Structure 1
Amino acid sequence: MRWEEDEDIRTTQPTGESFMSANTYSPPVTTHAHAKPHAKATAIFTCVLAALAGLMFGLDIGVISGATQFIQHDFGVSDHQIEWIVSGMMFGAAVGALAAGWMSSALGRKRSLILGAVLFVAGSLLCGFAWSPETLIAARVVLGLAIGIATFTAPLYLAEVAPEYIRGAMISLYQLMITIGILVAFLSDTAFSYNGNWRWMLGIIAIPGALFLFGVMFLPDSPRWLLMKQRDAEALDVLQRLRGNPEIVEREANDIREQLRTPQRGWHLFQENSNFRRSVGLGILLQLMQQFTGMNVVMYYAPRIFKDMGYDTSAQMWFTAIVGLTNVLATFIAIGLIDRWGRKPILYTGFTVMTIGLGVVGFMMGTGTTAHGAQLFTVGMLLVFIVGFAMSAGPLIWTLCSEVQPLKGRDFGIGCSTMTNWIANMIVGFTFLSLLNSIGHTATFYLYAALNAVFIVLTFWLVPETKGITLEQIERNLMSGKRLRDIGN
């Protein structure tokens, strides 16, 4: 948390205000009063239930990894067709994220989450019953639509319903749920790999999806959305249930009304203001940097990578599960260090670790990993790469993308960076196997290692340090024309 003082009024802005969201708003709470215990419990339960959207996201990312080799065997498809199956989800997510902004405003956050859950269940079942590669691609696109909607709406909803004293923790919980979902999917794939049943791998995630759908139906509407729609009585009722203190309720409602008086005019600002265009460009660059680290190459194709190291199917799946566990544990490093070290030192560390990790993996793949010790060393260096990403570019890029956008253009700026994330994600998923087949393993991993080295330089020249700096000061520096790397000074 970063605390900002304004005379005798205390407000909060969570530093991780949007790890996986195109628009996360955190209304300030101006009070020294405390919520009643039952209201606190209600608020925590509501937030935890909404954060489970991150679990759905993680399941969808992870589940395809273990299934590809069995799909390829059953359908007799090429590596290029597997790339279509993998990247179909990212295409759907890009479309879903694009539509989610309008949906969350017109239909509300709760109904958008319900629609996302319905599409998730439908897409999972269609994956399990797919009768052709084309059907499977279509099912993955449906899953992507669900994920695009959820990744926009869930952090937005969390920021709007969470009390200030747990808001940062709840948004961090959402990010953690994503990594847990990936791990659970890897473990599920491992269990089903013994009989090669990829249909169960892909279809079984409909069960947690259905449970999430059932739970979301009991969520309250966002009080900010209700106030946007001038449904003040309902908004105050929801706030009363979540806060339990009339003083807190009235102050927070007034704060939200005050914030709503600042209209979003991002497209016009983008056309008129070159400084805003710089911040949008920085957000887009940050997302390109995150995706082209090569992390999702491992998330989507880990068993194939371990197969090419010389491991059998059982070892491939268990090592993939270890990748998921490493990703979960290393995320805690970022949560613990983000406000101690600052953004740039963590990014420097992460990109350096990833450069070394992938560089060594590329070298070992070139010299040969037939010896057992060489195989384990190569796996270890791949896990080092995972740690480097999970502690740095994974969560921090989302934090920076939300911090560098001015208030009047925040929706537009974060929307552009989120769309870039999904498009770049799709490119990575769609090209990895083709790269392996055309230039080989060594050159492919060297390529991603070189990109991470370039990102160290880009971090130095363009990325600002925003630790301990208010969003208002960042905006003033940006609009005054300061260099991008200096807007956090």
Structure 2
Amino acid sequence: MSTVTTTGKSRSNAQMTFFVCFLAALAGLLFGLDIGVIAGALPFITNEFQITAHQQEWVVSSMMFGAAVGAVGSGWLSYRLGRKYSLMIGAVLFVIGSLCSAFAPNVEVLVVSRVLLGLAVGIASFTAPLYLSEIAPERIRGSMISMYQLMITIGILAAYLSDTAFSYSGAWRWMLGVITIPALLLLIGVFFLPRSPRWLASRGRHEEARQVLDMLRDTTEQAKAELDEIRESLKIKQGGWSLFKDNKNFRRAVYLGILLQVMQQFTGMNVIMYYAPKIFDLAGFASTSQQMWGTVIVGLVNVLATFIAIGLVDRWGRKPTLKLGFLVMAVGMGVLGTMMNIGIASTAAQYFAVLMLLMFIVGFAMSAGPLIWVLCSEIQPLKGRDFGITCSTAVNWIANMIVGATFLTMLNSLGSAHTFWVYAALNLLFIVLTIVLIPETKNISLEQIERNLMSGKALRDIGSR
């Protein structure tokens, strides 16, 4: 290949890498924005529509209901239409949902609008990492997936900052509507992206797959070698449902993935994400400004603590990091509940309560937040990976919805102290479940994990050599 041609291909490769990064950032950012934005908007929505605590829970949890439906349907959608057009549908739903939320004349329309946003989030949370893993060059594939996860936390922080800026005028419609801008950018960006070469090959469109890879990779030889690998891997047919019915060992992996997602959600982290201003109110910070800036600090700590997980996961391993994280969360929630039981009267007590809250967030962001997703992708055998991850992702959003739909009811029926004690007790239970059931998968190949699982080894031992 001539120098000119090689230079031209490298330039094309660099441009496509930029678009992949752009997509990763925007899809993750939108995911985080839609999770975080409701925390700041909810107090103003409550005042304008005069809604009950139960209706507030529906406003929050309706998005998670839509996300569960979107996650279940996105597997079929990405298979039939391809990853690119699935992302396009998600982007359109982000735009429609954001606009309808901003112009909602009543709480019923707002709930339906948030279901639409949930569908978009469900599609994005399934399809974006899948597309990135299939289209990004091997040298940046890991960093792209990691950046996607990081951008979710940055999106949450950006939503909190936006909410705080609009809170001075009480402009909750702008809080919800401003998300339309990155949603439109995502939609425009997806138009310029190529189809997934793996999806094209799976439909027998090998020449198109070769052309895409030729555009993406530095040399024609790299493109040809990767297409050969894709063809080889496609010989292993996905047989999720039939495998689930026929193989008890695969069922164990699916159930473990579901349990992991339930554990992640019932730590209580999303209670903090969705109801942060309410919790700061309980901690004695009465003014809207204090509550909103407290929420921003929550988002910032969440972003920074995610880097702890990135640094520890391959050094300490999954299990030690999870156990430490659950312990930190249990202590944070337990002490916070105890302080609310005693009464938070002094300024020093208020700030100590905030410190406990931030300690809880560090515990989550360094452990259960990212590591549950890592484990769920590692424990599923290749033949049933799509099915297993679809099941666990859908359960994540269902559990998320249950948490969002019950917190205010628990506060009203149990009281704030007992509510936080419940979450502290759950985190202690999760330490036990981690010891008894969760495997250590550090430095173990996916093929070895699969062999151990299918040979009938105990779940906690499927990460052994």
The count of residues paired between Structure 1 and Structure 2 equals 457
Q: Which residue of 1 aligns with 2:214?
A: 240
Q: Which residue of 2 aligns with 1:7?
A: none
Q: Does 1:408 align with 2:368?
A: no
Q: 1:41 aligns with which of 2, 11, 14?
A: 14
Report the alpha carbon displacement of residue 44 of structure 1 after superposing the two structures with TM.
Answer: 2.3
Deviations 1:402-439 (A, max 9, x none): 11111111111111111110000000000000000000
Q: Does 1:310 align with 2:284?
A: yes
**Identical columns (%):** 66
Does the 8 A contact of 2:44 with 2:172 survive in 1? yes
Distance 1:446 1:247, change over 3 A: same
Amino acid at match of 1:137: V
Does the 8 A contact of 1:42 with 1:241 survive in 2? no
Does the 8 A contact of 1:43 with 1:243 survive in 2? no
Report the alpha carbon displacement of residue 42 of structure 1 after superposing the two structures with TM.
Answer: 2.6
Distance 1:92 1:57, change over 3 A: same
Q: Which residue of 1 aligns with 2:3?
A: none
Question: What SS does the aligned partner of 1:165 have?
Answer: helix
Q: Which residue of 1 aligns with 2:187?
A: 213
1 CA distance for matches of 2:90 and 2:381?
29
Q: Does 1:120 align with 2:91?
A: no
Q: Which residue of 2 aligns with 1:10?
A: none
Deviations 1:208-260 (A, max 9, x none): 11111111111111111111122222211111121121111011000001111
Report the alpha carbon displacement of residue 40 of structure 1 after superposing the two structures with TM.
Answer: 4.2
Amino acid at match of 1:435: M
Please show how residues 37-436 of structure 1 align to structure 2 within 5 Å: 37-51=10-24, 52-311=26-285, 312-436=287-411
2 CA distance for matches of 1:352 and 1:96?
33
Please show how residues 20-31 of structure 1 align to structure 2 within 5 Å: none
Q: 1:440 aligns with which of 415, 422, 434?
A: 415
Question: What SS does the aligned partner of 2:250 have?
Answer: helix
Question: What SS does the aligned partner of 1:157 have?
Answer: helix
Deviations 1:310-342 (A, max 9, x none): 211100000101100111111111111111111
Amino acid at match of 1:59: L
Q: Please state which structure has a larger fraction of its residues in helix.
A: 2
Report the alpha carbon displacement of residue 39 of structure 1 after superposing the two structures with TM.
Answer: 4.3
Question: What SS does the aligned partner of 1:466 have?
Answer: coil
Amino acid at match of 2:22: L
Question: What SS does the aligned partner of 1:183 have?
Answer: helix
Does the 8 A contact of 2:9 with 2:215 survive in 1? no
Does the 8 A contact of 1:43 with 1:161 survive in 2? no
2 CA distance for matches of 1:347 and 1:359?
18
The TM-score, its normalising length taken from structure 1, stands at 0.92
Deviations 1:64-90 (A, max 9, x none): 000111111000000100000100000
1 CA distance for matches of 2:353 and 2:141?
40
The TM-score, its normalising length taken from structure 2, stands at 0.97
1 CA distance for matches of 2:187 and 2:162?
21
Amino acid at match of 1:281: Y
Q: Which residue of 2 aligns with 1:29?
A: none
1 CA distance for matches of 2:62 and 2:56?
10
Does the 8 A contact of 1:293 with 1:354 survive in 2? yes
2 CA distance for matches of 1:56 and 1:35?
33
Does the 8 A contact of 2:19 with 2:189 survive in 1? no
Gaps of 5+ in 1: 1-32
Q: Which residue of 2 aligns with 1:26?
A: none
1 CA distance for matches of 2:137 and 2:315?
23
Q: 1:470 aligns with which of 441, 445, 451?
A: 445
Deviations 1:103-160 (A, max 9, x none): 1111111111111001101000000000011000000001001111111100000000
Report the alpha carbon displacement of residue 35 of structure 1 after superposing the two structures with TM.
Answer: 11
Distance 1:35 1:414, change over 3 A: farther
Q: 1:454 aligns with which of 426, 429, 454?
A: 429
Amino acid at match of 1:170: M
